[in-house]
Structure formats: C-alpha cells, structure tokens
Structure 1
Amino acid sequence: MYDPSAVEAKWQTWWEENGTNEPDLDAAERPFFNLMMYPYPSAEGLHVGNLYAFTGADIYGRFRRLRGDDVFEPIGYDAFGIHSENHALKVNTHPMELIPSNIRNFERMLRAAGLMTDWSRTVDTTDPRYYRWTQWIFVQLFKAGLAEKKEAAVNWCPKDQTVLANEQVIGGLCERCDAPVEQRMLSQWFFRITDYAQRLLDNLEWIDWSETTKTAQRNWIGRSDGARLHFPLAGAAGGDGDRIEVFTTRPDTLFGATFMVLAPEHPLVERLTTDERRDEVETYVRAAAAIDLVERQKADEREKTGVFTGGYARNPATGEDVPVWVADYVLMDYGTGAIMAVPGHDERDFNFAVDFGLPIVEVVRSRASLPEGADPRHVPPEEDVAAFVQHTSDEILINSGRFSGMEADAGGRAITEWLAGNDLGGSEVNYRLHDWCISRQRYWGPPIPIIYCDDCGAQAVPEEDLPVILPYVEDFRPTATGVSPLARDAAFHATTCPACGSAARRETDVSDTFLDSGWYFLRYPSTEFDDRPFDAERTRKWLPVSSYIGGEEHSVLHLLYSRFLTMVLSDLGHLDFEEPYDRFRKHGLLIREGAKISKSRGNVILPDEYIERFGADTFRMYLMFLGPFQRGGDFRDSGLAGPERFLKKVWDSVTAAAESGRKGFDDPDVERALHAAIRQITEELEALSYNTAIAAAMDYLNAVRFGGRTASIDEVRPLVVLIAPIAPHVAEELWARLGGASSLFDHAEWPTWDEGKLAVDEVELPVQVNGRLRATIRVARGAPEEVVREAALAEAKVSRQLDGAQIRKVIHVPDRMLNLVVA
C-alpha cells in the first residue's frame, strides 16, 4: 500500500546522505543554473504561495536534469529588512535571536516539500560572510561615483519610521504596512540608477522574459521624448543667460504658453518676486511647505491655488513676456520644478487660467475642423475654449507663426531645432525613473560602509576592513527623528578616518534589503570562497542564471535593481555579462475558494498540515494542477482528492507490473498512447504548462488500466520518469521497485517518442441516417462500433437529423459505413 510519509522520509534521507542534489560545479559538462526567488524567513513559516513558486521552479529543474543537464538549484534566506525587524519588535525578541529560529523552521518545511535543493550552498543575508560582500558592492559603486549622499525629498513611512524607495510606495501607501507615506527632506545615500535608464530600457528588447514583466519595467523607467526649453527672465530680474528651464513632451504647443508656474521650492522664486508681492508669496511658500508632498502629488484631486510673483519670463517663441506664478501642484522633484502653462491644451493649466483670469490661446487643432480656406496663422478661438486637443493623427499647428500649418509632431521638432539654433532649447529625453534611495534608518540591515571625517569628508571603509559588523544593540527600536538606532551605540560609530587617521564617525544608516537580494544569485556558486564575492571561473561557467521563476510583484523592485547592479559590476570589470537572467518567467497567484489569500481574511494556507495528511507529492501535484502555472488558480481542499487518487493508481499499476514481470507491448493503442503522452508532457513541461502535463499523464494511466488490464513494465516505467519532476519521492520508490538503479534522477533517461508510433491508420467512413448520406468521418481502421457511433453523433449534420428522434437500429460495416435507423 502506498504510504506517502514513509516513502518521502526515506528518499529525503537518501538524497541528503548521498548528496544527490549537490552537483560538482567544476566538473559539470552541461551547467544549468535553476534559480527560484529566495524567501524572507517569516515567523509564520513557509506559506502556500512560497511553495507554489518553489514547486514550479523545482519541476522545471528536475525536468532539465532528467534531460541531461547538470542542474544547480540553490536556495537561501532574505533575512534582513523591515518585515523581520517589525515582527521582532512585536514579539519583543531581538532579531539576532528570532531570525535564526525562523530560518531553521523554514529549512525544515522546505526539505519536507521535496525540493531538489543543494543545501551545501545556502546563503543567509544576515551572515557577515555574506553581507561583507554586500558592503563590498556598495564600496565599488561609491568609488565609481555611482553612490552619493544628497539631500532630497524622500518617502517616509511614519509607522515603520524609515525612508522608502519610490518603488516601495503603492498608491501613496507603504507597500509593507499600508501606512500613508509622508515626504521629508533628508540627506540620504542614493545609487545613480538613472545613469543606466536607457540601457535598462534597451535590453528589454532582447532578454527572454515574461512580456508583462518587461512592460512593467518599461512603464516604470518611463522614457519621455521631448524638449528642454529656456524662458529668459524679463524685466528687473533678468540678466545675461538667466532663464527658467522647463521640460515638455509637447514643444508643438509653445506658442500657446501664456504663463509659467514654479514649484514653491524653486530657487528662482525669491529672485522673481517683486517687493509689492513678497509678503503674499512668502506666506504662500511657507504654507506649501507645511503640506505633505504626497498630498501635493494629488494635483487632479485638489483645489488649485497659487500666487503671482510679480515677475515675468519671455516666451522664446512669441517674444512676449508671460507672468510667472508659484503653485503647490508643481513639484521640485519632478522635471525641472517649473512648467510652461498651455491652458488651451492642458486641462490642469486651463482650470488654473480660468480661476486666475489668465489668457488662453489655441495653437493646435484638427485639420478637419478648420474652416474652409482659413489661414492657420490666424485662426479664431473655438466657441468651446475647453475643447482640449487629445493628439489626433490629423492635428496641425495654428496661431504659431511660421510653423502654422505644419503637422503637429513635425512642427514640434521644427520648433525645437529652431530654438536650439538660437541657444533657447533643444531635444531631451527624460525618464520617470528616479535614483535608488539606499539608506534605511533602521537597525536590522547591513551597515553602510562609509566613514565621515571632518577633514577628508566621506570615505569608503577599506575593503580589507570589511565587513562592518552589525553590533548587538539591545534597544533597536526605530525613532521618528530619522536617526538610525545604530547612532545610540557610541562604540560602533566612533572610529578613525582611513585617509588621515583622525577621529571620525561611521555612517549609522543601514542599506536597503533590496541591495542584499540584488546580487545573491552571484554568490551561490562561490559560497566556499571567503576572499572574493564570486569566483571568476565559477561565475563564467554558471552565470547568467539559466532559468529564473518568481513573482510579478518583484518586476520593478528586485528585478530592476538586480539588472542595474549586474550592469555596474560588468562595467567595472567584475562580470563578463550585463544581464543577470537568461530567462525569467513569472508565476501566477493563488486564491482560496474565490477570495484573495490574506491574514485579515483568515484563509492563509500553511503547507505543513497538507503535507502531513496527503504527502508532499500529492500536494505538489495539486498545486500545479490548479490551473496554468503562469496564471495561478483557486485552492480548494476538495481538489486534493484527484491527485491523491492518481498517485495511488500509479502505485498500484507499477507495483502490479513489477510483480508480474511482464514486459513489452501487447496493445498497439496503449503503445500509441504512451508516445503521445511522452510528446505532450515533454512539450508542456518545457512551456511550464504543468496542469496540462499532469492531465496527459492521467489520460495515459487511464489507457493503461482500461478494462481492468494489468500493465507491463515497459508500459509504466516511462510513466514513472514522466511524473518524476512533479512527484519525485514516489517516482524514486517506484523506479527502484522496477529494478532501476538509485537515484532515478542520476540514472534514468527522459523518454523519447517515435513519430511513427503516433501515426494512426485511418479510414473515411460514410454516415447515413435512414439510408441517406449525411456526413463523412475519419476513424481508426478497425474502430469498434461504439467508437464509430460516438464520432458520428459528434457531427453537427448528423445530430441535426436526430433532434427529437430515437435511434431504432445501428447498421455498422467495419471500415465501410454506418447507418442510423431512426423513427
């Protein structure tokens, strides 16, 4: 009788004792790096979402191994960060004590799941032997000028009391705790990822990734092609070369710019403000500073406010002086902190112009809407002045001087070239992507390896002095001041300058956990080396990653950052490739009985109880049978019965075949079904279509067992190999019972199909109803009457003749004809 717990315990022990999942990284002839996104070790333990992702990746790795690849499948723990620290605060346990316990529990659960993991190369981001090299990477970027400290408006989570990267703010809320995010001006460390924006964008054209993931990255990088235009200051504020600069994607509308708006923080506000306007402007600027920047970003939802500075700038196209206003809907952190306002073609500018009585000029219109014979240089305004142009294909410039009548896009380019020739602007590309804020004002993370000296400035910790060890700080609670808890440890932050030897102080911020995960895959093949982050020869052999499977939620954070770090390390000569993953595929998400899985709903699924009751193989198979792996599925407890029955039938059929000792094929239909199953399962596993691969295996088993027949060894041995990636424990046991050398994954070969065996000798058969020909069907030569009749009834022309009628008699001449007599 099939006993999953006994079988799985036996083979997990065998794998561990024999090191069957630990490939020789130096001797491997066909290296295949199969990577899964490593988890953070939460106190709750491994949840079903983790196991869904890991199982999908593991199946693909086992499949490639059975096809002859030397598969390396490591795993580790993303154990630093806010989530782990917050839980430690909640349970009043120091993270240095809590996290190792969580990791031990995770490893127990991962081993129970039957993953093909090389446990000898596990990484833990909280281990100084690992974060030494995280700090080393920071130092490399610092030396290359790609890590810099600057004061900027940053996202501040008041609940987690730390800075967040832009990518960690979702709809104005902290992506970890859902608290409303505030904006603060703080001095923070940034990685200059914007220097790599275009390369990150360009490479998306050729990397083999899920298209939705590439689209998410394109949108986040957000390239905008436009122009930087110069509006010279006018009047008393003006001077040689003094100007307001704006970036616009619509230079074609420049002739319609009738006023300008500056952010309250813009450095030219004070200079442009006239004496009679100063009190009002300063009052407004102070009030704007008190408004949270997240609230200011909701420009479309808030009432427009603003004040006139009293100053003017000259529109470089018209030569006219236009008033300069200050308004809090313009943000210093976006673009240049100034906009040219074109109320005739922008709804926000229109509303502002109406509220404050500013002029509105139309400069773009659909050619079809122009009055016949109208001069495009002098077109009267539309009656509906709020009819904004939405960039139609036939729009042209009007009221735009010598550019009038030109197609809008071409006119915009011509205006930009004209301005460039007069040193009043030029083409420019902007990106939505901002530099990566790397500082965190928390305790649980790798200290940023920087030393501050009053004489020498910021100095990188010498590489030979790494790692900067995270000390045990008993009071590790964050503060609302923006100062890291490490600042409370005088013994930590007091040090000497590596350049001059004077008294100095350490940086007390820690780095973002996404830096930990941005390079972890590089460490796996080189874990035994303590004198380098990644061995050159090992890295050359095993990287880039052959296959990476993970969640869509990481498409902007982890995946973008790891691409950036790989490019930097390549540019600095540490790697000979610039994209980290040859292939990335996203997996879908699970729901439970129609509802999203979450703690608040009380429907979180922990695998332990299911694995204990049904076994890991049944649970793995069920998860993959829920639906297409890349889309996800609906978890229902009742669904486990199907995979459980299937594996029991496989067990019974294989053990019966082994006992009988019979070999060969005595039924050509079964042999044909086997080759069809081999082809389909092979193709479906390669495409990660695990649910249909399982269905094909079930269909084949039904063919083998049809009519109560006992299978031969040759009929079931290939089936054991075919299901091995999905149900590895039972496959190992049945392989051994069929006389195979252990382990199956070391000795079995993936079955191949014979196209000749798939061919079916068919005949065309006329189908009559009451003696009249109604259809012609194709069936296998020698097909029995019940098969022919079923095929005939499936034909629409036949079924229409039988509507409401009763079949009285069936006349079947094998391979010749079928006649249905109805009344």
Structure 2
Amino acid sequence: MEYRFSEIEKKWQNIWRERGIFNAPDTSSKPKYYVLSMFPYPSGVLHIGHISNYSIGDVISRLKMMEGYNVMQPIGYDAFGMPAENFAIEHNSHPRLTTEENIAAMRIQFDSMGFGFDWSREISTCRPEYYRWGQYLFKKLYEKGLVYRKKGFQNWCEQCQTVLANEQVVDGHCWRCGNIVEQKELEQWYFKITEYAEELLDFSQVIDWPERVITMQKNWIGRSEGAKIDFILEGTNAKIPIFTTRPDTIYGVTFMALPPEHPLVQQWLREEPDNKELQDFCHKVINEDKVMRSSEETIKEGIFSGRYAINPFNGDRIQIWITNYVLMDYGMGAVMAVPVHDQRDFEFAKKYNIPIKIVIQKPDMSLKIEEMQEAYIEPGIMTNSDKFNGMDSEEAKMAITDWAMENGWGEKTVSYRLRDWCISRQRYWGNPIPVIHCPHCGIVLVPDEDLPVKLPDNVQVGRTTKNPLLSVPEWINVPCPKCGTPAKRETDTMDTFVDSSWYYARYTDPNNDREPFSKELADYWLPVDQYIGGIEHACMHLLYARFFHKFMRDLGWVNCDEPFARLLTQGMVTKDGAKMSKSKGNVVDPQYIIDRFGADTLRTFLLFASPPEKDVEWSDDGIMGAFRFLNRVWRLVESNLETIKLGLQTGESSEPLSEEIYNLRYETHYAIFRWREDCLERLQFNTAIASCMEFLNAIAKIKEPDKLNSAELKIYAFACVTLPKMLYPFAPHIAEELWQILGNEKMLNECGLPEYEEKYLTRNIVTYVVQVNGKIRGKLEVPIDINTEDLKTKALEIENVQRFLQGLNIKKIIVVPGKMVSIAAGK
C-alpha cells in the first residue's frame, strides 16, 4: 500500500482535535510541564523559520507527554505593532481586518503541520479581552511609581512615524523598515525598569539558559560601581553631577565633556539661537548613530561651550566642551575628562590643545607628559592630588569617595548602562495608554470599570503621516473622570513589547474576565519549563518579560522569581548561505512542501538538518532524503505487517538466535538508549533522528522475517514496533498511523517512552575499521574475543583492502583493540 501522506496527516489532525489530545487540564495527578515558543507576528503568513521554531517546541511537548507529564503548549499572536499596521496600509485595508485574516491563515497552516497546540488557550494581543489587562498592568505600574512622563531625545523613524527603543536601532537604522533613525525631542512615557536593574542581574533562579544570553543581558544592564560627584557651573549654584568609576583621577580633570542631548546644552541652545556653529554641531551629533559615537575608532569631535565648571576638590576652573563621544545613556550624561588617564579624553585633549595633568604615576615614577603617546590607565601612585599624594591609586578610590561624602560633594553609587524603557509609540495599531489629560486635574488614569480603552475603527490609517489616532476627535475628546470637564485622551499607544512581556502568564488563564489571570493557576503552571525563541530577543523581549514578571511577583500575582526556567535559542533557516527573505528571492513556501511531501517530511528535514540552536541550511536534496526515509519506514511496516503482528503475539521462547537477530537486538536497545539521551538530556534532535535512520537500516538487514523462529520473530517485531515510537515526536502523523495498523488501541502520547534493557547493550561482536596507509578501506564485524592473528587474516581478506594492497609489500599491521586494524604497505 502506498504511503498516502496527505490522507494520513489530515486523518490524525482531525483525531487529535476531536479528542482534545493537546488541551491541558488545569488539575492533574501528573507533574506539569509548560512548553512555549515565542508567538508570531500576524503581519503575513507563516514562513519556514516559524515552522522550524514550532517544530522544536512540538517535539519537546510530545516527548514530555510520552514521559507522563501534564503538558501545556499554548499558541497566540503578537498582533499589535508596526508590521501589522504597515501590512494593512500596503493592502489598502484596515489593521483589524488584515490582522484577523492573517491569524485565520496562520491557524490553517499550524493545523496543516500537526502542531500539538492547546487551542482552547489561544490569545491575540489586539483583541480587547487581552489588551484590557495590559492597560490594567500599566495602571498598576503607575500606581507603584514605576511609570513617568518626561521630555527627551528619542530615536525617531520617519518611515514608521514612531519612536524606537535603543534596542530597536541596528547600526543607526530602524530594525523594522531599515530607514535611518534620527533624534527627535518628544514627551514620552517610560517604565522605570532601572528600579529592577540589580535583580535583573541575578540569574540564580534560572535553571538552564544559554550562557551567551545571560552575558548579553548582563552587558546590556551594565553595572558599574563608582562615585557621583557634583561639579558646579561657574557663576551659578547649578550642580553638574557626574558618575565616575575612577574617583582616584579627580584631581586630574582638565575639562568636562557633555553630549548635545544634555539638558544644560539644550538650555544653551535655546539661549543662543543665533550661534550657528553651536547649533549646527549639536544637530549633526544628535543625529549620528549612538553606537558609532561611543566607538573607540570614532574620530573625536567637539566645540567649546564658552562656559566653565568648578572642581569641588581643588577649585580648578575647567572648560566645558560639547562632544560627540559622550552619551546621555551612560552615568549622569556629563563626563569629567582626565586626559592623562583616559584614552578618549587623551585623544580629544591633544586634538584641541586642552591642558593635561598627571595625577597617577607609574610605580617607578617615570611617567612624563611630553613623552606620552597614549593615556596611562593602570594603577599607580597618587600625585598632584593634595592630601592623597603617595597613596596607592586603588586605595585612593574609596578614600576620595569618602572625602567627597564628608564634604557633601558626592556619594558612593552604582550606575547602570540600562535606561528606563520608553513605551510611547505614535501609531494607531497598539494598546492605548489608559490616561486622560485634564486641564484641571492633570494626568488622570482611566477607571477600571471603563477598561479597556478600545481603539476606534474609523481612523485614517495610511492617509496621514501623523499619529492616526489624531484623526478621530470624538475618541480623543472625553470628559475628565474626576471633575467632568472637557479633557483629552492620551494618543500614544504602548510599545508592542509590553504585550509580549506578560502573555506567557495569560496563557495560564486566558478566558478570565475578572483579572489578568488566577494566582492559583499561575502558581500551578509557572514558570515556563521550556521557552523557545530567537537570540535576537535577548536584550528586548526576554529582559522586559523578566522585569514584568518580577513586578507581578511584587504585586503577589505570581510566586516564582523568573518567567522562563529553561531557554532554547533556535537557529535561523537559511538558503544559499543567507537568511530567507523576499528581497533575496530565496523564500520557500511551507505549503508547497506540505502539499508535495507532507508535514512529516518538512518537520523531519528541519529537525534533522541541524542541532536546534544552529542555523538550518535549506536543501531540496535534504527534503527528498527525508521523504525517502519516511517512505522506507512505511514500506518496512506495511510489507511485513502480518509477520510483525504475529511476533507481537508470540510468547517467550528459548529457541537459538541467529547472528543477524542477535545483532538486531543489540541495535534496537542501543538505538533506544541513544535516542533517549539525545531527546531527553541533550535536546539534540538531529542525532536522535540519525539514530532512527540507522535503526531502520539495522531492521532492513533482516531479509526474510517470515522465516524466523519464534524467539527471533519476537525480537524483530519489538524492533519494528519501536521505530514508530521513536519517530513520533518528529513525524507524528506517520508514527500514529503505523502504531494503529500494528494493532495498538492507545495513541502514542499515552504509551510511554521506548524503553531499553541494560543487559542487551553489550554484544559479543565488535566492528573494526580497516585502514590501508591511513585511509579507511573496509569494516569488519568479528567476535569480541577473536585473537589478533585471526583478526589480521580476516582484515587482509576484505576485497577492497586487497585492491589497495595490490603491488605493495605489507610492512606492518597494527591492531587497536576493539577499534581498528591499520595496515602499512609500500613498494
């Protein structure tokens, strides 16, 4: 009978759906296991990269079900944001319509792949029943003092007409559309994520995350211990606070470096509108890429402000320069510049003839300004530093900080590279911020009973370059909830990362209309036991979700400290060495493959082609290879069906085993052993599938199974019935079909993992590799206790070995016990 994959796959997809196989109960005598893959953006249909990602999650889900867990694998859609809005504009439609159409199309694709999702938990972030609780969370953050509004320079994408977080700017370009990012001064809403910076550095409650991701997050948070010192703006009482990790160099400050974005500089720009040189320089620098500005290779540029600051330690009058190499994102924004002991300051001072001063000498006192070609940044002996002269510079750090604290000039502090999270977006398709601006009451939160603040449908999407919500005055103009006077809604919507920062918790109780989720259900399901997604989200989504989770913990909504216990960062699918994209013309349509070869073939190829964390290079030959493999499995079982069934019914027998069957028994238990280790311990599904392929070859060596005695038939049948079990996580449709036609009533998810017996993991036959002059020319299977001379004789009898020895004299034969016979030969 032919392997009719299309018919088989539809059959089992319907059975799984009708029986609710993957609908996870909220109470169970089984231990729970929560598997989650990052949900997709419905700004189009699923691509091969999606299929690869969800195939990995589905393997883990099915394995855990076989292992006896109560498994939840939910799915939903990250449906707000610019991609969905742009898709609607491109198709001259409305985001609500196109998004729901794309969701419906994705749902069909998910079903066609046979993914074991719990569809009863489906969520979509653009639906009011979900985003209502995002607004509720905003209010809770606001009430706890973790939301504020301020004016400042933001990354602005003119193409997308919205603000971008620092993490969304890649090499000076918008991570979505690729447009050059400019700086624009706007009043924006912020989440005070920095309040949790210290906690976010603690990964002690994470069970298994890639070290690379942990390092990326730690570097992004960027903790530095040092001192805050207040310099004074000359002629005023205004303080210019700086943060430094080198208070030992405080007496060597010869100028102060400020970025153009600094509030003082912005004030000076307003005071000097006719200073074209100052205006032009600041405008140019503000719009330069921030990463490039902070790079060591960047040419240092600056302009003297005409103003001075006073060093509180020695009263020195120091120049204030506006520079391109200092960012507001670090420390307090202003930098005390010590040219002799900082390379960037050294280069800048040399370029602009700013005085330099040694305050830390080398231990041998040999440092001379006129001989210096670069800054001296090593520890040393304090000099030119008043009462601290002669002190070791490392000891002086604390002594100088203490002195500053005693005099009220500064304090010991910790600084973070992490900035507060700007969540304002000037677009339509996002979660409305639940705030009303009243001329009398100021900022007023929308009352709980009026949530959700629903997005209006009658917006001019695509017909305005401004925030489309500004085109709906009847939505904007509302009475103040407190005093009743005319007021206006906030028209900024929230960053879509807000929606994805807590969705994993909503899955635990997705239909709750009284609260975001039940604490009881959250305590049962959380944390997520296995999370799967791309490394590109290390410093955005994963960091934000951890922040939200710790806040929800502090509210008493969840008990655990971390949202995701284990993290697997999967690789991309590439073709011709490049990531698949329409612009490169290398996109493969998943449906095309499913229609011609079946979902099981596509899943098997993607999982076999590479370890989960590595990139998969697309290969048409690889697809054909996976298809041929599944066909071979089908033919093996189908053509020997009655023999296998007979063997399954055979009782114990003491009849002798042939060498072939003896080997098959070993191969069967060894394949199971390897498969379990690869699947359950290492999550290396490519090698697990390789074990299945090798196992199939071992079974296929038995040419006439109908002629086996009863003892041999039992071993053969066990091997044949084990293969579908091993295939089930990867190719579940064909596995279920073969399992059923073999006479099993239970479905594979209920039948447990394949089991091996230790006693069959040894055999009295060993395989030797035979080399001639260092190159493999044959293999030899011999009894484990064969003597060395007999082994050499058999090696020399191999036809291919004889061919490569023709005309040569054997000089030496070396035997590596249990592994290799190496023959050295020559003229």
Q: TM-score by structure 2 length? A: 0.88
SS of residue matched to 1:311 = strand
Q: Does 1:738 align with 2:739?
A: no
> Paired residues, what number?
784
- 2:763 is aligned to 760
Aligned counterparts of 1:552 and 1:342: Cα–Cα separation in 2: 38
Aligned counterparts of 1:802 and 1:362: Cα–Cα separation in 2: 77
- 1:261 is aligned to 257
- 1:200 is aligned to 200
Aligned counterparts of 1:787 and 1:535: Cα–Cα separation in 2: 73
- Deviation at residue 262 of structure 1 after TM alignment: 3.5
Counting only pairs closer than 5 Å after superposition, residues 76-115 of structure 1 correspond to structure 2 as: 76-115=76-115
Aligned counterparts of 2:31 and 2:206: Cα–Cα separation in 1: 24
- 1:704 is aligned to 699
Which of the residues 669, 672, 680 maps onto 1:675? 669
Counting only pairs closer than 5 Å after superposition, residues 657-668 of structure 1 correspond to structure 2 as: 657-660=640-643, 661-663=646-648, 666=657, 667-668=661-662
Give the conservation status (yes or no) of the 8 Å contact 2:206–2:564.
no
Which of the residues 720, 731, 747 maps onto 1:716? 720
Give the conservation status (yes or no) of the 8 Å contact 2:727–2:735.
yes
Q: Does 1:301 align with 2:298?
A: yes
Which of the residues 415, 430, 451 maps onto 2:400? 415
- Deviation at residue 285 of structure 1 after TM alignment: 4.3
SS of residue matched to 2:582 = coil
Structure 1 unaligned runs (5+)? 770-776
Counting only pairs closer than 5 Å after superposition, residues 273-312 of structure 1 correspond to structure 2 as: 283-291=276-284, 293-295=286-288, 297=290, 298-299=292-293, 301-302=298-299, 304-312=301-309
- 1:772 is aligned to none
- Deviation at residue 125 of structure 1 after TM alignment: 1.1
- 1:560 is aligned to 543
Which of the residues 451, 471, 475 maps onto 1:466? 451
Give the conservation status (yes or no) of the 8 Å contact 1:155–1:183.
yes
- 2:709 is aligned to none
- Deviation at residue 594 of structure 1 after TM alignment: 2.1
Counting only pairs closer than 5 Å after superposition, residues 91-490 of structure 1 correspond to structure 2 as: 91-203=91-203, 206-233=206-233, 237-239=235-237, 242-264=238-260, 266=262, 283-291=276-284, 293-295=286-288, 297=290, 298-299=292-293, 301-302=298-299, 304-314=301-311, 316=313, 318-327=314-323, 329-332=325-328, 334-367=330-363, 370=364, 374=365, 381-391=368-378, 395-404=380-389, 406-477=391-462, 479-480=464-465, 484-490=467-473
Counterpart of 1:198 in structure 2: which amino acid? E
Aligned counterparts of 2:821 and 2:572: Cα–Cα separation in 1: 50
- 2:777 is aligned to none
- Deviation at residue 141 of structure 1 after TM alignment: 1.0
* CA deviation vs aligned residue, 1:547-577 (integer Å, no higher than 9, x gap): 1111111111111111111111111122222
Percent of aligned positions that are identical: 40
Alpha carbons of 1:542 and 1:381: their partners in 2 closer, same or farther (altered >3 Å)?
same
Give the conservation status (yes or no) of the 8 Å contact 2:205–2:561.
no
* CA deviation vs aligned residue, 1:444-479 (integer Å, no higher than 9, x gap): 112111111111111111112111111102412375
Alpha carbons of 1:806 and 1:113: their partners in 2 closer, same or farther (altered >3 Å)?
farther
Alpha carbons of 1:786 and 1:541: their partners in 2 closer, same or farther (altered >3 Å)?
farther
Aligned counterparts of 2:325 and 2:49: Cα–Cα separation in 1: 41
Which of the residues 506, 509, 513 maps onto 2:496? 513
Give the conservation status (yes or no) of the 8 Å contact 1:172–1:181.
yes
Alpha carbons of 1:752 and 1:302: their partners in 2 closer, same or farther (altered >3 Å)?
same
- Deviation at residue 728 of structure 1 after TM alignment: 0.3
Counterpart of 2:350 in structure 1: which amino acid? V
Counting only pairs closer than 5 Å after superposition, residues 728-807 of structure 1 correspond to structure 2 as: 728-746=732-750, 748-761=751-764, 780-781=783-784, 788=791, 805=808
Aligned counterparts of 1:734 and 1:768: Cα–Cα separation in 2: 41
Give the conservation status (yes or no) of the 8 Å contact 1:146–1:191.
yes
Structural RMSD (CA)? 3.5
Aligned counterparts of 2:212 and 2:630: Cα–Cα separation in 1: 35
Which of the residues 611, 626, 635 maps onto 1:652? 635
Counterpart of 1:735 in structure 2: which amino acid? W
Give the conservation status (yes or no) of the 8 Å contact 1:296–1:329.
no
Structure 2 unaligned runs (5+)? 706-712, 773-779
Which of the residues 686, 689, 695 maps onto 1:691? 686
Aligned counterparts of 2:267 and 2:58: Cα–Cα separation in 1: 64
- Deviation at residue 230 of structure 1 after TM alignment: 2.5
Alpha carbons of 1:208 and 1:407: their partners in 2 closer, same or farther (altered >3 Å)?
farther
- 2:776 is aligned to none
Give the conservation status (yes or no) of the 8 Å contact 2:225–2:415.
yes
Alpha carbons of 1:382 and 1:358: their partners in 2 closer, same or farther (altered >3 Å)?
closer
Counterpart of 2:763 in structure 1: which amino acid? V
* CA deviation vs aligned residue, 1:89-124 (integer Å, no higher than 9, x gap): 111111122111111111111111111111122111
Aligned counterparts of 1:752 and 1:85: Cα–Cα separation in 2: 51
Counterpart of 1:445 in structure 2: which amino acid? G
Aligned counterparts of 2:195 and 2:527: Cα–Cα separation in 1: 23
Aligned counterparts of 1:788 and 1:87: Cα–Cα separation in 2: 70
